[in-house]
Amino acid sequence: AQSVAQPEDQVNVAEGNPLTVKCTYSVSGNPYLFWYVQYPNRGLQFLLKYITGDNLVKGSYGFEAEFNKSQTSFHLKKPSALVSDSALYFCAVRSRPKIIFGSGTRLSIRP
Amino acid sequence: GAGVSQSPRYKVAKRGQDVALRCDPISGHVSLFWYQQALGQGPEFLTYFQNEAQLDKSGLPSDRFFAERPEGSVSTLKIQRTQQEDSAVYLCASSLVLAGSGEQYFGPGTRLTVT
C-alpha cells in the first residue's frame, strides 16, 4: 500500500532563513509524489510533483523538493522563507486513481 | 480562468438531516474527485468520477454517502441522515487527464458541521 509520513506537526523558521519540510514515502513500484499547500479557508494548491528524472524538482513560489530514493524521502525546501509562506503543507503520493495525503505540517515563518 | 467552485461554503445540519454538496469542476476536466478532511488531518479519498462514470467509491464511509455526476460536469455529494462524525470539510478536485496522470485542482471546500 502507498503511504507518506510527515514526521513534524509544526516547523518554525525565521524569515529569510532556509526551510525544510520533511516527508518520507512507502510505495510499491515507482513513486509519483506531490506537495500541496493549504492556506486558511482555501483549497489545496499544487506546488510540485516528482514522476521521474532529476531528483531536484522545482515548483511554484520558489519551492523545490529533493527526491532521495535510498532514504525514501521527498523533502520540501526553500532557500529563503517569507512570512507569506506560513500555511499547512501536505506531502502526497499517487495511488491510482486517488492521491493519498500525509497528515500535514504547519509551517510558521516569523518576521 | 475559473477554478473549481463548491457550494455552499458552510453548512450546518442537525443530526439526521440530509445534505447536498455541489462541485463545479474546471470546464473540460475529465476526472473529478471528492475528499473528506477532518480537523487537523490530511484529506481522505471518498470517490472518483471519469466523466459521468463513478469508477471508484471505495472511500465512501457508509451507504449514507452518495455521489453523482450525471452529465459529466457538475457533481453532487449527498449525505443522508447526517451524524456528528460526518462533520468535516468536503473537498472536490478535478483533473484534466485520466486519474493518476496529473495534478488535481482543488476547490475551497464545504465545511459541514453536524449538531
Taking 90 as the threshold, does the pLDDT of residue A42 lie above it?
no
- Give the pLDDT of residue A103: 95
Indicate the average pLDDT of chain A.
94
AA letter at B27? S
Give tens-digit pLDDT for B36-78: 999 889 999 999 999 999 999 999 999 999 999 999 999 999 9
Chain segment A46-83, per-residue pLDDT in tens: 999 998 888 999 999 999 999 999 999 999 999 999 99
Q: Verify whether the Cβ–Cβ distance A43 to B43 is below 8 Å.
A: no
Q: Look at residue A87 and tell me whether its pLDDT is greater than 90.
A: yes
Chain centroid to Cα B112, Å, comes to: 12
The lowest-confidence range among A40-49, A60-69, A98-107 is A40-49
Calculate how close chain B gets to A94, using CA atoms only, in Å: 6
Query: What pLDDT was estimated at residue B101?
Result: 61
Q: pLDDT: is A95 or B80 the higher one?
A: B80
Which among B81, B78, B106 is positioned nearest to A99, based on CA atoms? Answer: B106
Distance from CA of A99 to the nearest CA of B (A): 7
Distance between CA atoms of B37 and A43, rounded to whole angstroms? 11
Size of interface A-B (CB pairs under 8 A): 56
Interface membership of B42 toward A (CB under 8 Å) = yes
Q: Which residue has the higher pLDDT, A3 or B1?
A: A3
Q: Which of A6-15, A56-65, A94-103, B57-66 has the lowest mean pLDDT?
A: A94-103
B43 prior amide bond cis, ω within 30: no
Give the integer Cα–Cα distance in Å for A89 and B42.
9
Nearest residue to B107 via CA among B14, B37, B52: B37
